[in-house]
Structure 1
Amino acid sequence: MDTAEFRVERDAWPDDVLPREPTFPLEGAPVHEHLREQGRDQGTEPALTFYGHTLSWSELDDHVDRFATVLYERGHRPGDICALYLQNCPQFWIAYHGAQRAGLTVAPLNPQLRDVVLEYLLEDNEASAIVAHTNLLENVESVAAETALEDGFAVQYRTYADVANARLPVHEVVAGEKPIPDWEGSNPGNLTLRPFADAVTAVDPRRDLPEPSPEDRALLQYTGGTSGMPKACVHSHWNVTYKAVIRNQGPDRDEVQLAVMPVFHVAGKLGTVDGQAVSGNHVVILPRYTPEAMLAAIDAYDVTSTWIAVPMIEEILESDRLEEYDLTSLSATSDAMTCTSFGTNITAALSDRWEVITGARLKEGGYGLSETHTGDVNTAGIERVEPGFVGQPTYGVEVEIRDFETNEVLPVGEEGEIVLYTPSMMAGYHDRPAATNEVLEADGALHTGDVGRLTEEGFLYFLGRRKDTLKVSGHTLSPREVEYAIEESGLVQDALVVGRPHESRGHVPEAHVIPADGVTEDAVLSWADEHLAEFKRPRSVVLVDELPRTSVGKVDRKTYRERLPNDYA
């Protein structure tokens, strides 16, 4: 295929790390076809390891084939939806690739969702099949009668684990999982339940399944729902493949990845599910994060790469058991490990501490959205730890900074709305034409609602969400900018800036911080007076023990603000 249109000519491009023009193995075929190729090419090599049990590439490909066959023989056809209601586990990989291989569309669901929201999502996507962990089946049972569900596949994580040889602490979600319930004679709605393991082993793989085209729908990727109910971004096989291939212009099959960030989330899925199928590397799976399990997994399996959030880094570095483990494998294939701020700044001091333990420094993971299948901006080959720095646009992606009010493109260096063009743009929000039209222009421009700025080199700085900006004495202030600065000071572990009402200024910044040991409110205020512009300085500081977080580690501003008086912004 002709890839010249994706060639990057930017001077700042890291030529020593990435080619200027990407290559597309298998001519951009769907990711499940890449997985099949891995099964043929390196069938005996490890693909997935989960608590002591390893699936080879040929075994994984066979299980994917079998699940695809089960869905097809149960009457599910191209265009139907298969929902995945799981933590990180081998069954997610099998069901994800298997459903797409059968021509179905996959809808990953956050396993923390319950009741009203779960019912809303299943009604929204009209899933006919669901793969769910036994601990979550009561939630499915309670809403099934209001949905289009016909087939349920009950997952027990331990069927793909060898707990006795796990070599790391086994999470309660595995050790204490519930048995498969007996719904015989009392099936909710039209839903029939069967064990996932039995379904996969009870059939011989078919070779006459539908072959989806690159333009066919592959994925309904739900947004975080921070501004209302989650919306499903409609992505084609091409969208998924494009970003998986782009992500793999650097990594290769020698990598050993640790999948600890949730794969129901687009970023976790892209790196360790989609991307892995293209690169053919070994992935070690953790269903949930704990510092002890992560330390043990890195040491036991010589993990070379992972992707985690800053609060996890901080917790690992503070672990009483840190010195018991060897983490230097993280510097075996790269001198920098990808991390994501998610509301907490990566600082040079934190990177220094991480390098002492692992040999690798920290770098920002980049920038992207569910609407674009993420990975739009990256920091490959760029060693820069600065507030808001997220890298440069990747292959085929164009970033503009526009005026929020006039939609005009702003000069370099000015702050405005981040607007994206990408070859992996969603077709729209599923059954939400009005919401789609609010963010997506006819020419493919996506209005992100995020505040940012571009530099002369083409580097992007992410400064926060527009809905989070404050008006202070006529100035537009991004709370993230102030948070970054305060976190960089070393006085606090975490910070969230809100707008406190003020009689003449409208609002003034107020910093709610988790302080470092011995740090007082006055110390933070004094530092701000010395280092920040007058309108950016917090007028008060509130010390807190913790800040709420979303399921993927972001500081949950919405939840925290609900605790504050109504006149706060």
Structure 2
Amino acid sequence: MIGQHLQIGDLISRAAKAFGDSPALIHGERVVSFAEFDSLTDRLGNALLDRGLEPGDHVAVLVPNGIDGVVVYYALAKAGLVRVPLNARETDVELDYKIEDSRARALITDGRTPRETEIVIPTTELAGMIERGSSQPCRVVRDQEAPLRLAYTGGTTGKPKAVILTTRSELAEVANFLVDLLPDLGPESVMLHAAPITHGSGAFFLPHLVKGGRSVILEKFTPQGFVDAAIEYGASSTFMVPTMIAMLVEDAVIDRDRLRLSRLCYGGAPIAPTLLQRGIDALGPVFAQLYGQAEAPLAITCLQPHEHTPERLASAGKPYTFVEVDIRDAEGNSLPAGTAGEVVTRGPHTMNGYWHRPDATAETLGSDGWLRTGDIGQRDESGYLYLLDRRHDVIISGGFNVYPREVEDVLLTHPAVREAAVVGVDDERWGQRVCAAVVVREQISADDLVEFCSNRLAGFKRPRHIEFWDELPKSSVGKSLRRTVRDTMGQTREVENA
């Protein structure tokens, strides 16, 4: 355990004392210093407790990318409130489920209210709450094993599950980043948040904060806009999903002489080695891969810049210093190098379990602390991990998880659709494309099916390619064989592109 009684708020107050009026956060014209950030989170944390919330309550957060979102996140941590971050790209139906499932007592929202909660706080009220909130330090001490935030994930069956992440796992992630990924962080470091802070990019805020580095948040990502901002602010590090890297190398004019980028961390989706090599050719040896998942966020293995040699571009790297990784067979036996099996991990970075799902927790998290990732991989003789497949067929498109069953269930609600199988097909720009093979009762166009999905699924979950098949391949027990569908997609049948 790291600093047994240490709280997230302690890191913020220490940074305020150490770095004072130096800029900590920049978004457009707004600049917030370390001292001001400490004060803002104290005042908002106290104001939230004054509204009747109690430590341990769950608070859903639907706030635009920006400084207010960061202030909300860490005010909740100081007040001992459990953050339930919501993805603004999801539909009201999807958000409604998460708010209900998490049993959120409050919703902090930019105006959308997918589900009523006991307390609803529009973002327009935040400034007033901060002004009225007590300036006294807000430091609710909770056990490091108590929930800090819930991160929704899912699988090919059932509804998305909420992963319980704790102060212990958050501090472990920070420690792993500082030791292995960003060992040179200091007051001159600048993190350019090109991706949403609700996603992987947000994990880089605390490591920079504790070392006096500043975080610059972009309003939105565009390839040339990123390059220009990186030069303007002297960015030393950033985080991207492979889709963003593809856009960067294809669409931006990159002036390496003016860039001081030393770490371009990437993860969240499969990446084609050819794309990675193009990135290295364009930006130099600055790439660092992060492999993780919601149950062990961004902190299972990493591939350092100097390890991005031609023969290892397909590798996910080696375990972080404070992380254990093994390859196991179905009986839980450790497998030798070169043998494929399930990737398992153990360490302080892992989840405590799934929110109110003890059976799923027991299936994923063993009594000995080993977490089953559901990913299939193998190690080489030097200990480098190579991921081969995802046991649960999760599709990762543009850095976002898409769960085939969820898309299939929507397609099957259309009266013309008899059967559906959804798979991910490799795509250099998006990592994977969501594709569907459907068997229909009556004639319908792919465009009509996509339109049908558009009102029920977030954009990144909608099929980008639909094929009409006479029948779907099935196992002996009648289960659709997604791997067979994926392997033959577009090869032998008439295709209609969505």
Query: Do they superpose with TM above 0.5?
Result: yes
The alpha-carbon distance between structure 1 residues 118 and 255, as it changes in their structure 2 partners (threshold 3 A), is same
The alpha-carbon distance between structure 1 residues 346 and 395, as it changes in their structure 2 partners (threshold 3 A), is same
Give, in whole Å, the separation in 1 of the partners of 2:334 and 2:193: 39
More divergent stretch after superposition (454-463 vs 57-66): 454-463
The letter of the residue matching 1:153 is: I
State whether structure 2 residue 54 is matched by structure 1 residue 47: no
Q: CA deviation at 1:467?
A: 3.8
Are the aligned partners of 2:91 and 2:458 in contact in 1 as well (CA < 8 Å)? no
Select the residue among 303, 322, 336 that pairs with 2:253. 322
TM-score when normalising by structure 1: 0.67
The alpha-carbon distance between structure 1 residues 564 and 221, as it changes in their structure 2 partners (threshold 3 A), is farther
State whether structure 2 residue 411 is matched by structure 1 residue 439: no
The letter of the residue matching 1:340 is: G
The correspondence of residues 383-422 of structure 1 with structure 2, limited to 5 A, is: 383-385=308-310, 386-404=312-330, 406-422=331-347
Structure 2 residue runs without a partner (length 5+):
395-422, 439-453, 474-484, 487-498
State whether structure 2 residue 128 is matched by structure 1 residue 129: no
Q: CA deviation at 1:352?
A: 4.0
Q: CA deviation at 1:108?
A: 0.9
State whether structure 2 residue 295 is matched by structure 1 residue 371: yes
- For residue 353 of structure 1, what is the aligned residue in structure 2? 281
Give, in whole Å, the separation in 1 of the partners of 2:172 and 2:202: 14
- For residue 268 of structure 1, what is the aligned residue in structure 2? 201
Q: CA deviation at 1:417?
A: 1.1
- For residue 152 of structure 1, what is the aligned residue in structure 2? 120
Give, in whole Å, the separation in 1 of the partners of 2:350 and 2:280: 37
The letter of the residue matching 2:115 is: V
Superimposed CA distance per residue, residues 290-332 of structure 1 (whole angstroms, 9 cap, x where no aligned partner): 224322321221111101123222222333x626x6773334x
The share of aligned pairs that are identical, in percent, is 27
Matched length: 421
- For residue 256 of structure 1, what is the aligned residue in structure 2? 190
The alpha-carbon distance between structure 1 residues 239 and 284, as it changes in their structure 2 partners (threshold 3 A), is same
Q: CA deviation at 1:446?
A: 1.4
TM-score when normalising by structure 2: 0.76
> Secondary structure of the residue that 1:200 maps to in structure 2?
helix
Q: CA deviation at 1:560?
A: 5.1
The letter of the residue matching 1:150 is: E
Q: CA deviation at 1:493?
A: 9.3
The correspondence of residues 94-243 of structure 1 with structure 2, limited to 5 A, is: 94-134=71-111, 137=112, 140=113, 142-144=114-116, 149-155=117-123, 195-207=125-137, 209-223=139-153, 228-243=158-173
Superimposed CA distance per residue, residues 152-190 of structure 1 (whole angstroms, 9 cap, x where no aligned partner): 2322xxxxxxxxxxxxxxxxxxxxxxxx5xxxxxxxxxx
Q: CA RMSD in A?
A: 3.3
State whether structure 2 residue 211 is matched by structure 1 residue 294: no
Are the aligned partners of 2:23 and 2:214 in contact in 1 as well (CA < 8 Å)? yes
Superimposed CA distance per residue, residues 484-538 of structure 1 (whole angstroms, 9 cap, x where no aligned partner): 9xx6xxxx9977699999xxxxxxxxxxxxxxxxxxxxxxxxxxxxxxxxxxxxx
The letter of the residue matching 1:428 is: G
Q: CA deviation at 1:370?
A: 0.8
The alpha-carbon distance between structure 1 residues 428 and 563, as it changes in their structure 2 partners (threshold 3 A), is farther
State whether structure 2 residue 242 is matched by structure 1 residue 310: yes
Structure 1 residue runs without a partner (length 5+):
2-23, 156-179, 181-194, 470-478, 502-547
Superimposed CA distance per residue, residues 382-436 of structure 1 (whole angstroms, 9 cap, x where no aligned partner): 23353531110112321111224x3322221111111111222211100111222
Q: CA deviation at 1:458?
A: 1.4
Q: CA deviation at 1:454?
A: 0.9
Select the residue among 264, 267, 270 that pairs with 1:343. 270
Give, in whole Å, the separation in 1 of the partners of 2:95 and 2:433: 29
Q: CA deviation at 1:346?
A: 3.9
> Secondary structure of the residue that 2:326 maps to in structure 1?
strand
Superimposed CA distance per residue, residues 180-237 of structure 1 (whole angstroms, 9 cap, x where no aligned partner): 5xxxxxxxxxxxxxx1111111223233652223222211111266654321111221
Structure with the bigger percentage of strand: 2
Superimposed CA distance per residue, residues 39-95 of structure 1 (whole angstroms, 9 cap, x where no aligned partner): 111111110000121100001110000110101111211110122112321111111
- For residue 183 of structure 1, what is the aligned residue in structure 2? none
Give, in whole Å, the separation in 2 of the partners of 1:75 and 1:496: 45
The letter of the residue matching 1:353 is: D
Are the aligned partners of 1:248 and 1:278 in contact in 2 as well (CA < 8 Å)? no
- For residue 353 of structure 2, what is the aligned residue in structure 1? 428
